[in-house]
Structure 1
Amino acid sequence: MRPAAPRVGPRAWRARRPAPGRPGDRVSTHRVRVLARPEQAAGFALAGLPVTEVRDGGEAGSRLGELAREGGVGLVLIDGALHAALPDETRRRLARQPLPMVVPFPGPGWGRRAEAETYLVELLRQAIGYRVRLR
């Protein structure tokens, strides 16, 4: 059996060349970081994002300051409750800087449980013909 030829086809050499660019074109890459409570951190870590665990707004503010000074960080995802607990001065300072962008995400919440239970009871009533009581 013969080994495969290193080049196949008349124009295979083009694949090895870098894409043409104009002078001055640069590719910049910025990192993503996550500030989350310990109970949320595992999910982000499983998704492959580097997570910094924080417990309250004060600690989140100091960690955000470190990330802003670090350089190379373009996006910081932060739990919404932690973002709301940040000192006003910290939020204003971060809003004036182009990077890192600080984006709050909603944390888990169970506030709509009664609404969901009512919907489920009504769905079961329609399916089986009588009302059930959930425990």
Structure 2
Amino acid sequence: MNRLIFLLFPLFLQLVLSYPQKLQARAYCRFIHQQQHIPIEIDSSQVKEYYNKAKEIYRSDPKEAQNIVEKGISLAQLHHMSEMEVDLLNLKGVILLKLNQFDESIKTPFQRTQKTRRTQRQKRHDAFFSEYRKCV
């Protein structure tokens, strides 16, 4: 009898101690899954409208287009829309060239490159955790 208890006690202890870790991992996976499915379609249409409007008027009124692009960039950052933010940063660089602000226009490709790298890193991170969710 003592031998049986001696053999089963470590198994019981392992089950009891690993259960909270599994619960925590599952809760984290559910939280990430919920965060990824937040609807942002209304805001994405607004960002696209800002982009299209600025793209139409930047030749005739670059100052107004610059204001519109800034609003679009802030809205895209707020809702984590990295692809639209990159497009708006490209347009911002063109507008700044049109306004003869060469130093500022050189900074926007750098910002765009940083944002693209961050987006790629986030995609790799999401792919890793999607594989992790399958295992848990």
- So what's the TM-score if we normalise by structure 2? 0.28
Structure number with the higher helix fraction is 2
